[in-house]
Amino acid sequence: MSSLHQNRRQFLSKTGKAGIALATMPLISKLVPEQYLIDSAFKQQPLPYSYASLEPYIDAMTMEIHYSKHAATSAKNLAEACEAEKVNINNSSLTDVLKSISTYSTKMRNNAGGHYNHELFWQVMKPSPSTAPSGKLAEAIQKTFGSYADFQKAFGEAAKTRFGSGWAWLLVKKEGGLAISSTPNQDNPLMDVAEIQGTPLLGLDVWEHAYYLKYQNKRPDYINAWWNIVHWEFVENRYSAALSK
Ligand code: MN
């Protein structure tokens, strides 16, 4: 029996029935924000909208190939890596794997990252969202970057100048505060190998497979169009969850 269980048992035997609610409270309150943080299980989740519904900003064929081929392959390869490296997907946290990614194989790094990043990417987009952040996140963006327009400019710059394949991020740094970063390949800010580490709130896929059919070599046009489909309410919820962690 773990010491946690022993402590809880002792606590319960001392406090009786009234203690049950108290004893379970920390676990419950921990679970609530986690739904926004560990939003990607080890398996690919259903896309929350149709392939065509992000048109005209992202075309249906790009979405279909991206979700059903590229992202699905990451999920499949992640399952293989977990099997080979003895990660039990039924009682492990993908976030924990990412946080200690330097202790795993390159296959795990590429596919745990690839899977997490895409699962987050689908969720930070939505057809006809509100056009700008609000509340605490809007305040923090203003405080950190000057204005929403300044933030968009800096984020766009990170996305444009990521050489080759990778991602641009808005994150809450480990030490607190917002930051913009970009990572190569399928790396992300959760990884212990990332230059700037923390909790990713918003991620933009700038691999060519994410935009080439519609935008070809014009990555900046894809980035500018993408702001029209950013699901700010979801990003705000992740921000609140990251703060209460
Ligand atoms: Mn992708």
User: What is the CA(12)–ligand 1 centre distance, in A?
Assistant: 49
In a domain, 235, yes or no: yes
Distance 144 CA to ligand 1 centre (A): 28
What is the predicted pLDDT for the residue at 131? 83
Domain count, the chain: 1
- Whether the pLDDT of residue 18 is over 90: the answer is no
**In angstroms, what is the span from residue 11 Cα to ligand 1's centroid?**
48
pLDDT value at 207 more than 90:
yes
Is 37 a residue whose pLDDT tops 70?
no
SS3 179: strand
Give the model's pLDDT for residue 234: 95
Residue 32 has pLDDT above 70, yes or no: no
Mean local confidence (pLDDT), 211-220: 98
Task: Give distance in angstroms: CA of 209 to centre of ligand 1.
Answer: 6
Q: Which of 230, 41, 54 is nearest to 137 (CA)?
A: 230
CA distances, 206 to each of 166, 177, 234 (Å):
6, 24, 21
Which contiguous run of DSSP H or E holds residue 169? strand 166-173
Structural domain contains residue 69:
no
Q: Is residue 114 part of a domain?
A: no
Ligand 1 geometric centre to CA of 145 (Å): 27
Q: Which residue has the higher pLDDT, 118 or 8?
A: 118
Average pLDDT (31-49) is: 66
pLDDT digit string (tens) for 83-110? Answer: 999 999 988 999 999 999 999 999 999 9
Q: Which residue has the higher pLDDT, 131 or 170?
A: 170
pLDDT at 26: 40
Q: Return the SS3 of 100.
A: coil
At 16 the pLDDT is 40
pLDDT confidence of residue 3: 40
Q: Is position 77 within any domain?
A: no
Count of CB atoms situated within 10 Å of the CB of 76: 14
Mean pLDDT, residues 49-73 taken together: 97
CA of 166 to the centre of ligand 1 (A): 9
- Within the chain, residue ranges assigned H as helices are 3-15, 18-37, 60-65, 72-84, 94-99, 106-123, 135-145, 148-161, 212-215, 219-226, 232-243
Task: Say what the pLDDT of residue 69 is.
Answer: 98
Q: Is 145 within a domain? A: yes
Is the torsion defined by CA of 138, 142, 148, 151 positive or negative? negative
Domain region containing 152: 135-244
Percent of the chain whose predicted confidence (pLDDT) is above 70? 84
pLDDT at 4 over 60: no
CATH number at residue 153: 3.55.40.20
Q: Is residue 142 part of a domain?
A: yes
CA of 153 to the centre of ligand 1 (A): 22
DSSP 48: S
Q: How confident is the model over 3-8, as a mean pLDDT? A: 40
CA of 207 to the centre of ligand 1 (A): 6
Residue 104 counted as domain residue: no
Q: Is 2 left (phi over 0), alpha (psi -120 to 50) or beta?
A: beta
The Å distance, Cα 205 to ligand 1 centre, comes to: 6
Q: Is residue 121 part of a domain?
A: no
**In angstroms, what is the C-alpha Rg of the chain?**
20
CA of 71 to the centre of ligand 1 (A): 6
Task: Compute the distance from residue 195 Cα to the ligand 1 centre, in Å.
Answer: 21
